Homo-oligomer: A and B are copies of this chain.
């Protein structure tokens, strides 16, 4: 991903991250979710009807889950794949870590 060998440690690490290529897309989604959360604050301030507030909370939750699923897909396709190709303990560690993250998502 890097053409030069002057990469700082930070860059080198960043380059292995799955979501790196879709950073702009993730930021756009997260800004939209931030907008939804601010909209929720306005609704509560203006005493919007509870059910309407709940509908909007469900929408924001679903949007957050979509971000998580996209990040996870990219993580499997990059970080985890790279570790598996490298082999050894790092591969096991990456899989265990991904499984734990999936469990947190499923249970949240």
Contact = CB atoms under 8 A, between A and B. Distances in A.
Nearest to A85: B84
Closest 5 CB pairs of A and B: A14-B47, A73-B99, A50-B75, A58-B104, A84-B84
28 contacts: A10-B47, A17-B49, A20-B47, A23-B47, A26-B44, A30-B41, A31-B41, A34-B37, A50-B71, A51-B75, A53-B71, A54-B105, A55-B101, A57-B68, A57-B71, A57-B105, A58-B68, A60-B64, A61-B61, A61-B108, A65-B108, A69-B99, A72-B99, A72-B102, A76-B98, A81-B84, A102-B105, A106-B106
A45 interface: yes
